Structure 1
Amino acid sequence: MTRVVFLLVPHLHLLDLAGPAQVFSTAADHGLGHTLHYAAEQEDVPTAQGIALRADPDLPALAADDLIIVPGWRSYTLREHGALGGATLDWLRAHHAAGGTVASVCAGADALGRAGLLDGRRCTTHHDLQDELARRYPRAAVVRDVLYVMDGRVVTSAGIASGIDLALQLVAVRHGPAAAARVARQMVVYARRNGDEQQASAMLRHRSHVSDAVHRAQDLIDTRFCARLALTDLAAATGLSERTLTRRFTAATGLTPLRYQQELRIERAEHLIGQGATVESAARSVGFQDARMLRRLRARASADAAAVARRHVRDTAGDTGP
């Protein structure tokens, strides 16, 4: 079991807490092995929205696989909020030093900064607080106008709802994008946004259609995208012929079932490579027999993205406005 501990600071924003808590609670409901714990320096914690929360005033002992998340609080300037006690900051530092991951939402980045965990790292926070965060922690590299930043085992996100994106990303990193997509769909979240990347997750950006049969096919692919999937099996699961399924799938998503599966594999492989895996091991993990196909598909995806960027530049240059 992985423990997710939320460090509650007085006048925290409810959605900064509730969004990530709902993600990990839903993940636990799906059997992903998380338990949630709420800790604070005081037993009763007031929130910015007026309701008080009850937390454990004893900071728990943690294992390296556990996660600490610091939700943000209402503060027009970071310095307006009273500093956390030395024991709490030591607890944050010790967990990270022992191999654990620490994360923050919105102003919660200031708690990580006080603990010295932002020094020499990329980080972000709510757009209203970015300049002050950069002034308070000049050794940090504050990245502006992004949803979240993952720098090793220090993860920071922007304000309020971006905590959901951060939590879904952490689920995707630990359990794969299919697990994150299942959690997102359970929460009725439209998309799992990817940090400073503009595109949504491949698992969700092709879900805006209203075809039940295609959704059923996608559900099957989402859960088994690393395995060999025959078109006959997909068709049987949807009650359609192979030809009809392919036609409807392409009309609904813009992709064939095979191309959709390949996109999921590429995205998962990119996650693994970003976490230090080799291309060869990532390719095997997502179902390719060797790395050659993965390299070809990544090259094709890069070429397609470059072509789209060139068209955008050309179209923009040609649009002189009224």
Structure 2
Amino acid sequence: MTRVVFLLVPQLHLLDLAGPAQVFSTAADHGLGHTLHYTAEQEDVPTAQGITLRADPVLPALTAGDLVVVPGWRSHTLRDNGALAAATLDWLRAHHADGGTVASVCAGADALGRAGLLDGRRCTTHHDVQDELARRYPRATVVRDVLYVVDGRVVTSAGIASGIDLALHLVAVRHGPAAAARVAREMVVYARRNGDEQQTSAMLRHRAHVSDAVHRAQDLIDSHYGSRLALTDLATVTGLSERTLTRRFTAATGLTPLRYQQELRIERAEHLIGHGTTVEAAARAVGFQDARMLRRLRARTVLSPGA
């Protein structure tokens, strides 16, 4: 039996808590022997989304087999929120010293940092606060733009939805990948993501613009990135000429429509390869006729990531 103890901090984000909690409770439903416990420094814990949660105000005694998870909280700067009493930080520190595992979601990494558990370790957090985390804990190595980082028995994640990825990873470590896959399927998770995958997908990275026509073109490419798409088809959808669409698309995203489609293909192929698919099979799955083009595009991406 493994106990998962969530340490709740005022103004915590519900999904930072609910995502991992759902993973471990679903694992328990599958007979994997998890129990969930919620503790805090106060009985009533307000959340960033306006719901107040009830937690055990007494920090429980822990064993080495227990997992402590600190969900993140709303904070524009880490130093302004998430304060924990010295006794709580001592509790976290002692659990790790006794052989236990500690994990954080989003700003929860700051709690581990305050407990001294990030010193000399690799870690990550949400991209909005990763620079501040690096400044606050200069002895830590903050890995930017990844979903989660495992360094011994300290596991940190980027936050929000990536807390699900972190929890699925921990289930896979303890019970095997097949068990984690069953949990993910039960939760209707689209795909289990590796920790080194980027925090934002290509579909999101190039959406920070206000061109409706370009968004419509991206919608079509996103849903058919593995198919041959003619520029005339995209132009028809947007109501623009091919030349005007190409000009607006490039201005809005920094990429031509073809390069954008290739980036989606590469990202999906990298995901498949990271989960054991061969380069040849991944190339075919994302729409390339053979692996040569995929290899060339992957090499170009590595040499020129901003291209």
TM range (shorter): 0.5 to 0.7
Gaps of 5+ in 2: 199-271, 283-290, 303-307
Q: Deviations over 1:58-89 (max 9, x none)?
A: 00111111100000000000011152001100
Distance 2:115 2:146 in 1: 23
Partner of 1:31: 31
Counterpart check, 1:54 vs 2:39: no
The 1:312–1:29 alpha-carbon spacing in structure 2 relative to 1, beyond 3 Å, is: same
Q: Distance in 1 between matches of 2:295 and 2:80?
A: 46
1:132-167 Cα shifts (integer Å, max 9, x gaps): 000000000000000000001000000200000000
- Matching residue of 1:213: none
Match of 1:143 in 2: 143
- Between the aligned partners of 2:293 and 2:197, the Cα distance in structure 1 is 15
Preserved CA contact (<8 Å) 2:71 2:108 = yes
Which 4+ residue blocks in structure 1 deviate beyond 2 angstroms?
A: 300-311, 313-317
Q: Which residue of 1 aligns with 2:181?
A: 181
- Equivalent positions of 1:254-265 (< 5 A) are none
In 2, the alpha carbon distance for the partners of 1:39 and 1:96 equals: 17
State the percentage of identical aligned residues. 84
Query: What is the aligned partner in structure 2 of residue 124 from structure 1?
Result: 124
The gaps in structure 1 that reach 5 residues or longer are: 199-262, 268-297, 318-322
How far residue 184 of structure 1 moved from its aligned partner, in angstroms, is 0.4
In structure 2, the CA distance between the partners of 1:308 and 1:12, relative to structure 1 (3 Å rule), is: farther
Question: Which residue in the other structure is 1:312 paired with?
Answer: 297
Cα 1:47/1:311, change in 2 over 3 Å: same
Q: Secondary structure at the match of 2:184?
A: helix
Deviation at 1:316, TM superposition (A): 6.7
Paired with 1:308 and 1:168, the residues of 2 have a C-alpha distance of: 33
Deviation at 1:309, TM superposition (A): 6.0
How far is 1:301 from its partner?
5.1
Counterpart-to-counterpart distance in 1, 2:143 and 2:50:
31
**Aligned positions of 1:197-216 closer than 5 A:** 197=197
Q: How many residue pairs get matched? A: 222
Aligned CA distance change for structure 1 residues 99 and 185 (closer, same or farther; 3 Å): same
The structural deviation recorded for 1:314 is 6.4
Distance 1:158 1:146 in 2: 7
Distance 1:308 1:56, change over 3 A: farther
Residues in 2 aligned to 1:80 and 1:194: alpha-carbon distance in whole angstroms = 31
Deviations 1:7-58 (A, max 9, x none): 0000000000000000000000000000000000000000000000000000
Amino acid at match of 1:101: T
Residue type at the aligned position of 1:12: L
SS of corresponding position for 1:57: coil
**Aligned partners of 2:134, 2:299: CA distance in 1, in Å?**
36
Q: Shift of the alpha carbon at 1:310?
A: 2.9
**Which amino acid in structure 1 is aligned with residue 193 of structure 2?**
R
TM-score by length of 2: 0.67
Question: Residues 37 and 304 from structure 1, CA distance in 2 versus in 1: closer, same or farther, beyond 3 angstroms?
Answer: same
The 2-side partners of 1:122 and 1:309 are apart by 31
Q: Retained in 1: the 8 A contact 2:10–2:82?
A: no
SS in 2 for 1:69: strand
Question: Structure 2 vs 1, CA of residues 301 and 38 (structure 1 numbering), >3 Å: closer, same or farther?
Answer: same
1:86 to 2:77 alignment:
no
